[in-house]
Amino acid sequence: MAEQFDVVVIGGGPGGYIAAIRAAQLGFSAACIDDWSRPDGRPAPGGTCTNVGCIPSKALLQSSENFEHAGHAFADHGIGISGLSIDVRKMLARKDKVVAQNNDGILYLFKKNKVAFFHGLGSFAGKEGDAWKVSVAGTKPAELVAKHVIVATGSKPRSLPGVAIDNVRILDNEGALAIPEIPKKLGVVGAGVIGLEMGSVWRRLGAQVTVLEALPAFLGAVDTAIAREALKLFTKQGLVIHTGVQITDVKVGERDVAVAWTDAAGKAQSATFDHLIVSIGRLPFTGGLGADVVGLQLDERGFVAVDAECRTNLPNVWAIGDVVRGPMLAHKAEEEGVAVAERLAGQHGHVDFNTVPWVIYTSPEIAWVGKTEQQLKAEGVDFRAGSFPFTANGRARAMGDTNGFVKILAVRKTDRILGMHVIGPMASELISEGVVAMEFGAASEDLARICHAHPSLSEATKEAALAVDGRTLNL
Ligand SMILES: Cc1cc2nc3c(=O)[nH]c(=O)nc-3n(C[C@H](O)[C@H](O)[C@H](O)COP(=O)(O)OP(=O)(O)OC[C@H]3O[C@@H](n4cnc5c(N)ncnc54)[C@H](O)[C@@H]3O)c2cc1C
C-alpha cells in the first residue's frame, strides 16, 4: 500500500532537506528520501555538503589553521610552543564527528517538523491519476505517492578523461578529505574553490602542494584585484600555482602518481606526487532517479531543465540545487528549496542569483557578491570603486591578520552598490553586510554613514564605502 504525501523530496542535501522542512512548516505532509549512508549503514542526510563538502572541509581547514597558527603566529603573541605535533587520525576523527553531529541534527529537524524520512534510493515509478509515484529502494523499500515532487539529487565530482578516481592515489573531494597521513608531495588539478581549500589544508600541515590550473588566469571569476592579491599571498605561503596548464599524461603507480603537462609557454613539464586531487568541477547527478521513466527533461549538460522558478517540464515536478543551473553552492540550493516550498503554498518565493554570496575559505578568506570590476567594464557601466586595506584596520592589527582589503563598486550616478569583494580575515562573515546592502538597494553612502562597532573588521567595509567617494577617514 503506497504512502500518500503532499510533497516528496528526492535528495536530502541542503536543497532537499530544507525544502522538506519548509514544506512541512507550511502545512504540507512532506517526505524526504536520501540514500547517503554512514560507514555502519545508518542514514547520513545532508548530502555532499554535510558528508563530503562544506562541513568536513571547514572542519579540516579549522584544524590545519590552528596548527599553522600554533607553529607560526603564536610566537608573535609571546606564546612559545615546543614539540608541536599533529595527530592526523585524531584530526580526521574530529571531522567525522562534526559530520555525524550534522547528520543527527538533520534527523532531529525532520522529527521536529514531522517530515517523514526514507533512507534509500528514490526513483520515479510513474503516475497515479494526477499524482506521482516514487519508489524507495533500500533497507525498507516503500512506495510513495505525492502531488508534488522536488528533485534535489545534487552533483558528483568530474574526473579527468581517462583517469579513474580511486581515492587512494587519485582523489576526488571525498578522498581529499580523508588522506590518512600528511603527503610529502600533493598535486591538485584545478585551482577552483575546492582545489584551493583542500590544497591549503594539506599545505598547512606540511605537504608540498602544486596546483595545476587549465585556465590562463588565476581565479578568473573573481575580481581581478582580489585574484592578484590572492595569488601573491598563496604563493608566499608556499602553494605552487601553475596556470594555463594542459595535462598530457597521468600514470598511477603503487606509491605515487606521475603527472606530465605542458605549461603556459607550451613547454613539457612533469612531477611525481604522493596523491593527486582532481577538483575540476562537478556534474549534475540524476543516476537512478528514473528521469526517463516519466520523461523528466534534462538539458544538454545533464542538468534537470528548469525555468527561473525551478519548474521542470512535468506538472508539479520541481528541481533545485546542484542538479539545476546556477551556482553550485549550498546556500543557493537552500534558498531554492525554500522558494519552491513557498510557491507550492501560493506564496512568491524568490532567489536572486546576483545577491548570492561566494566564499573561498582559504587564509585569507575570499568572499564576494554582485559584479566584479571587469564585468562592469565589459558591460559599459559607469561606476566608482573604493578599497580599504586591513593594514589600516585596528582590529585586524590587534588580531595580527592584516592581509587583504575590502572593495566596493557602485554606480557613479546613483551610487547604488553593484558589488562587494573581500580578501582578508573573516571575509565569509563580512560579506553578509554587502548582501544585505544589495538586497535593500543601498548606496555606498548608506554603508558609509552606518555606525560600525569599533574596533571591528567591519569598519574596513565602512571605510571602503567611504573610499568610493574618495573620503576615507583612517587612510
Ligand atoms: C569539498 C567541497 C566543499 C564545498 N564547500 C562549500 C562551501 O563551503 N559552501 C557552499 O555553499 N558550497 C560548498 N560546496 C558545494 C555544496 O556542497 C553543494 O552546492 C551542495 O551540497 C548542493 O546541495 P544539493 O542539496 O543540491 O545536493 P547534494 O548536497 O549533493 O545532496 C544531494 C543528495 O541527494 C542524494 N541522492 C541523489 N540521488 C538520489 C536518489 N535518487 N534518491 C535518494 N537520494 C538521492 C545524494 O546521495 C545526496 O545525499 C562544497 C562542495 C565540495 C565538494
Residue 210 is placed in which grid cell? 602544486
How far apart CA 221 and CA 369 sit, in angstroms, is: 12
The secondary structure of 144-162 as a DSSP string is EEEEEEEE---EEE---TT
pLDDT the model gives residue 118: 98
Sole residue written with cell 574596513: 460
Q: What percent of the chain has pLDDT over 90?
A: 100
Exposure b/e, 425-461, CB count within 10 A at least 16 = b: bbbbebbebbbebbeeebbbeebbeeebeeebbbbbb
Q: How many A from CA of 321 to the centre of ligand 1?
A: 8
194 lines ligand 1 (CB under 6 A): yes
In this prediction, residue 125 carries a pLDDT of 98
- Asked whether 370 lines ligand 1 (CB < 6 A), one says no
3-state secondary structure of 75: helix
Quick check: CB of 35 below 6 Å from ligand 1?
A: yes
**Which residues contact residue 104 at a Cβ distance below 8 angstroms, ignoring those fewer than 6 apart?**
none
Q: Other CB atoms closer than 10 Å to residue 402's CB: what's the count?
A: 18
C-alpha pair distances (Å), 200 with each of 62, 283, 365, 404? 11, 24, 11, 17
- pLDDT under 50: residue ranges of the chain: none
Cβ(14)–Cβ(21) under 8 Å? no
Q: What is the total residue count of the chain?
A: 475
pTM: 0.97
Does residue 242 have an active-site annotation? no
Number of other CB atoms surrounding residue 252 within 10 Å: 15
Determine which one of 72, 119, 275, 454 is catalytic: 454
Q: Which of 328, 349, 352, 329 is nearest to 436 (CA)?
A: 352
- In this structure, the residue with its CA closest to atom 21 of ligand 1 is 49
Q: Is the CB of 53 under 6 A from ligand 1?
A: yes
- The pLDDT assigned to 1 comes to 82
Contact 226, 423 (CB under 8 A): yes
| pLDDT tens-digit readout, 1-38 | 899 999 999 999 999 999 999 999 999 999 999 999 99
What span, in angstroms and rounded, lies between the C-alpha atoms of 59 and 285?
A: 25
Pairwise CA distance, residues 260 & 269, whole Å:
6
Give the separation between CA 380 and CA 382, rounded to whole angstroms: 6
pLDDT tens digits, 106-146 = 999 999 999 999 999 999 999 999 999 999 999 899 999 99
Atom of ligand 1 nearest to the CA of 17: 25
Q: Which residues are 157's β-sheet partners?
A: 282
Cβ of 322 closer than 6 Å to ligand 1, yes or no, is: yes
